[in-house]
Structure 1
Amino acid sequence: MRSVGVVRKIDNLGRITIPKEVRGNLEIKEGTPMGVYVDGGKVIVKKYEPQCVFCNSTEDVVDFKDELVCSECLSEIEGKVT
C-alpha cells in the first residue's frame, strides 16, 4: 500500500474526506457506494462491490431470498432443489 502523503483529521461526526486527487484517480464520484472494512489494526475503505454469500464472486450477483448469490451458485442451488 502506498501513501499519497495526505493527512486528514476525523471530524466531530467521525467522518474523513477522501482527497479530490485520490477520488479522481479511482473514479469515485459523489454517490459511489463505499465499503468500510477492518483488517487487524487497519481501516480499509474501498468501492463496494456486491458479492456472492457462498463463493464471494462479484460477477452476475442477484438477490435471492434476501441474500446476494452469483448466477453460478444459483444454478447449483436450483439443480439441487427437486
Structure 2
Amino acid sequence: MNDEGIIRNLDNMGRIVIPKEMRKVLKVMNGDKVRIIKDNNTVVIKKAADNCFLCGSENNLIEYKDVYICKKCVKEMERRV
C-alpha cells in the first residue's frame, strides 16, 4: 500500500471492497461498522465507534477528534477542570 491510495471499481450496486491490507492497518474486521463521511469533494471511510471512549456508554454521544465521548463523561470532566 502506498500513499497514493488504491484504485477500485464500483460494482453494479455501488459497492467497493476495502483491500485486506488496508483493513488490517485500520483494524477493521468483518462485521465492523464503518462511518462514511463526505468532506468537500472527498469521501472518508473510518471505523465507527458507537460507544464512549471513556466509559463505553452508547447513549448521548458527542464526536470529538475521531472518538466518541458521552455527555455524562463530558460533564464529569467539566467538574474536574
Give matches, 1:41-80, under 5 Å: 41-50=41-50, 58-64=53-59, 67-68=60-61, 69-73=70-74, 75=76
TM-score w.r.t. length of structure 2: 0.64
**Number of aligned residues:** 68
Partner of 2:40: 40
Compared CA separation, residues 41 and 51, structure 1 to 2 (3 A): farther
> Is the 1:35–1:47 Cα contact (8 Å) retained in structure 2?
yes
Partner of 1:24: 24
**1:15-52 residue CA offsets vs partner (Å, 9 max, x unmatched):** 10011111122221101110000100000000002367
State, as a whole percentage, how many aligned pairs show the same letter: 28
Partner of 1:14: 14
**1:47-69 residue CA offsets vs partner (Å, 9 max, x unmatched):** 002367xxxxx4325244xx332
> Is the 1:8–1:16 Cα contact (8 Å) retained in structure 2?
yes
Greater Rg, structure 1 or structure 2? 1
SS in 2 for 1:62: coil
Gaps of 5+ in 2: 62-69
